[in-house]
Every structure is written in structure tokens, then in C-alpha cells.
Structure 1
Amino acid sequence: MTLNISSKQLVQEASAKIKTLSLEEAKLLLGKPDVQFVDIRDVRELQQEGTIPGAFHAPRGMLEFWVDPDSPYFKPVFGEAKQFVFFCRSASRSALASAALQDMGLKNVAHIAGGYSAWKESGGDIATPEKSL
């Protein structure tokens, strides 16, 4: 099978048009009332590895629907005037998500260089989610 564009190329193109925060920049934003971190990883990843404190969990598969105010799945958090900082495990999904949401018109979108793995390895604060049965 031959693809017109690889997933790596998609991520590179997305990364070229979005804001990428360094770990240091992201850590300085943690806890600010006008900033919302958004974890787009699968719920299993979140439960196994924890998350960034205060992050809103929005699974990648539903993200565009949760952001769209005309969607029946809209989540009010995305209607707030905040800076949104998206992250996934390694910054590939968050690059694609940030680019898509920026294209949709969501303002103040960024993602974290290296993703959650880099955050965790750098000693960033971690929260353990409550496990639901």
C-alpha cells in the first residue's frame, strides 16, 4: 500500500503551524486560572500513568466534537476564554489535535514538546486519577 502522506509527515506539517511549548514554559503555566491543560490520551493511559494536575481529560477520538459548540457532545470548558495546552504521550497526537482545533477556530491552542512522557521524565507534577469501576 502506498500512502500520499505518512503519519510522520502529518505530524511535521501540524507542528509547523501550531505553538509548541517547551517543558519549562508549560510548567510555568500550570495552575494559572486562565490556562487549561487537556489530556487527550486514551483513558487507559491516563489510569496507568497519571496525568498533569488539573488537566481536563478529552479523548482524542471525541475532541473535535467536544470543542464544537454546535455539536451535541460540546463540553463547556472549551467555550471558556483560556489558553488550551494539549498533551498526549509523545506529542504526536497533540500536534495533530492542536492543528485541527486551530483550523476549527479554537483560539490560544498549544501543545507540550515531548508530551506527557517528557513531562514525567523531567519531574513535572503528576496526579493520579480516581479509578472508576
Structure 2
Amino acid sequence: MRVMVIVKATTDSEADKMPSTELLAAMGQFNEELVKAGIMQAGEGLHPSSRGKRVRFSGAKRTVIDGPFAETKELIAGFWLWKVKSMDEAVEWVRRCPNPMEGDSEIEIRQIFEAEDFGDEFTPELREQEERLRAEIEQQAGKAK
């Protein structure tokens, strides 16, 4: 199963306060462990919401909203994509993670939908399209290296 591991924002991350060298080194070591274990597929930190945008949808109308966004506890400071055997395994890895912030922080784990989760609504044609797009993404990623 694949999961997205979401590092929640804090007032410090939203204020664009950079992590210490020690924290960066500890997170780098943790990422090394994830890669060696075959768990980590991707992971990135995000700039504060003051540099972000939101697009609100209402029928055919689109409204662009500039950051910063209010509820810090609802914002994301970074993420990983992991491939694990179970949610319990993901929890165990998160328990080993260095605290991603200087103070209190929170990490959320969410399972990623797989094709079989969509049932009959995900027709053979849609499955073929999904597979083709994934292959194209992998090919583009290979060229970018």
C-alpha cells in the first residue's frame, strides 16, 4: 500500500523559519533509512502558504485566492510518499522520525487510493489511460535526470 505522510505546518514553518543544521542532518539520516528500506518514493518540504495560491471551484467558476491562509494547523509544511505493507508499518516509521519542527508538531498518514479501490466505475478504458499516464511520467522522470 502507498501512503502520503503529511508534516503539518506550524507558526514557525509559516513564518519561513528554516530548520537548524542539526534537524536537517537528522531528517537526512531518517530519509536515508527510508530509502535503504525501500519505503520512500518521494519527499519534499513546502514553502509557507504566504507564497501559495488556492483555486476555489464553484460550478464552472474559478476563483484564485492568494496566501497566506488562516488556519496554520490545517496547512502542510512537507510530505513523503511511502510504499509500506500496512498502516501499522507506516506508524512505526513515523514513530522513528525526528520531530520535524523545533517545537510541537504533528504528522498525518493517509492511504493513497489504488486503481482497485474505485471498483467498476474505474472502467478498463480509464485503467488503460491511468497506466499510460504513469508510464509517461516515469519516462519523463528518466529524461530529467
- Output the TM-score relative to the length of structure 1: 0.28
- Structure having the higher strand fraction is 2
Q: Whose RCO is larger (CA < 8 A, sep 6+)?
A: 2
